[in-house]
């Protein structure tokens, strides 16, 4: 089956961005982690990153027909985007939201999460391992 893994704004500069918060892991590292976990379960991965909100919405629409599950780190758009909430809500496949950091321990503006209120599950604060856990979880859901 096919898992769509979406990454939002500023995740392209992971590794050089606020290492105290996000460590030194890069987006390429996350992709490798996700691909390895998906392969363990016999699934394919479509791994993407964009800095544009509308592109994330368009990509989520692809999951209406073309994917069996979604893992998404909406990054800052989690805290602002009703459009992403609506796009996730429109899907019938499982959607697991991931944040590298524990957003609940951070600034109050990160305590609003419009994607979480539509997602199947949320993993925050597990760092890069959160991506692996998200893939393992959707694999379990797809097994039924």
Q: Mind telling me the catalytic residues? A: 22, 99
Q: Is the dihedral of CA 93, 132, 76, 10 positive or negative?
A: negative
Is 100 near ligand DQA (CB under 6 A)? yes
DSSP annotation of 16 reads T
Is 101 near ligand DQA (CB under 6 A)? yes
Q: Is 100 annotated as a binding residue?
A: yes
CA distances (Å), origin 13, targets 22, 33, 62, 139: 11, 17, 25, 28
Is 76 near ligand DQA (CB under 6 A)? yes
Name the segment binding ligand DQA (CB under 6 A); options: 29-37, 54-62, 63-71, 100-108. Answer: 100-108
CB 82 within 8 A of CB 23: no
Which of 50, 110, 126, 133 contacts ligand DQA by CB under 6 A? 110
CB of 134 to ligand DQA, least distance (A): 12
């Amino acid at each position: 089956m096919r898992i769509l893994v979406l990454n939002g704004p500023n995740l392209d500069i992971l590794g050089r961005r606020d290492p105290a918060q996000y460590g030194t892991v890069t987006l390429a590292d996350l992709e490798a982690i996700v691909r390895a976990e998906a392969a363990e379960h016999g699934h394919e991965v479509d791994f993407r990153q964009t800095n544009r909100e509308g592109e994330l919405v368009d990509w989520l629409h692809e999951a209406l027909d073309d994917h069996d599950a979604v893992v998404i780190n909406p990054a800052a758009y989690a805290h602002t985007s009703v459009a992403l909430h609506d796009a996730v809500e429109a899907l019938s496949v499982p959607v697991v939201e991931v944040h590298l950091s524990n957003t609940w321990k951070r600034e109050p503006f990160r305590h609003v999460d419009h994607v979480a209120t539509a997602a199947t599950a949320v993993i925050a604060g597990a760092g890069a391992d959160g991506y692996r856990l998200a893939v393992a979880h959707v694999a379990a859901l797809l097994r039924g």
